Amino acid sequence: MKDEIILKSTDLFLNLGFKSVTMDDIAHEMGISKKTIYQHFKNKTKLVETTAMHVFNKIANGIDCICELDKNPIEEVYEIKRFVMLHLKDEKSSPQYQLQKYYPKIYSTLKRKQFEKMLGCVKRNLERGLSQGIYRSSIDIDFTARLYFNGMISLKDQDIFPREDFAMSTLMNNYLEYHLRGICSTKGLETLTLLHTNIK
């Protein structure tokens, strides 16, 4: 039952927001009593924390699987973006923003885990791109990886990018284009252009 509660709560939180969904809503959706939920989670904060980590672990594992495919580094960047967007429901309810606003401690822990995961993933991508000659040899790997993470986090800041003016899918596409054009070699730009042609 605990796993079922986590799965249903995750779905509701991602679609409607961490703040908007109540314990009553979850109980009603599942056709169970609220008391049953409290047998597994002492309060909503604990449930939010568990579901947030569940989503993080699911995405982290999926990213690991994509990286193991050893794709062209540029293709890998887009493949990871597609995977993340799919599992975050296109962030219609801006779950990360709500998490930051209403559950700052959970957000802080999650952000640290995301940083550690993404930093390692981006560094490996950059190293592979350099070795294949598709990224510029002059780039500073550690600096670029940290800048990339910081940019990704800022896309979710609704004070900078209000969701009514900026769709997350468009922001992500624009940001990846910005990132890759800044680090690609001439050979890499040819790959990027070809990739865009195939997408269209």
- Inside any domain, residue 24: no
- Which of 80-84, 98-102, 119-123 shows the highest mean pLDDT? 119-123
CATH code of the domain in which 161 resides? 1.10.357.10
- Inside any domain, residue 31: no
pLDDT for residue 66 is more than 60:
yes
For residue 103, the SS3 value is coil
pLDDT for residue 29 is more than 90:
yes
And the tokens for 113? 């885990």
Structurally, the chain folds into a number of domains equal to: 1
What b/e readout covers 117-133, taking b as 16+ CB neighbours within 10 angstroms?
bbeebbbebbebbbeee
- Inside any domain, residue 137: yes
- What pLDDT is stored for residue 93 in this prediction? 55
pLDDT tens digits, one per residue of 130-155: 999 999 999 999 999 999 999 998 88
The CA angle 133-139-145, to the nearest 5 degrees, is: 105
- Inside any domain, residue 134: yes
- What pLDDT is stored for residue 89 in this prediction? 60
- Inside any domain, residue 145: yes
- Inside any domain, residue 180: yes
- Inside any domain, residue 19: no
pLDDT tens digits, one per residue of 154-188: 888 888 998 889 988 899 999 999 999 999 999 99
Domain that holds residue 115: 45-199
- Inside any domain, residue 160: yes
Put simply, whether the predicted model's pTM sits higher than 0.75 gets the answer yes
pLDDT tens digits, one per residue of 79-91: 998 998 887 765 5
Q: Across the chain, what does the average pLDDT equal? A: 91
Q: In 3D, which of 145, 132, 121, 142 has the Cα closest to residue 185?
A: 132
Q: In 3D, which of 24, 29, 28 has the Cα closest to residue 11?
A: 29
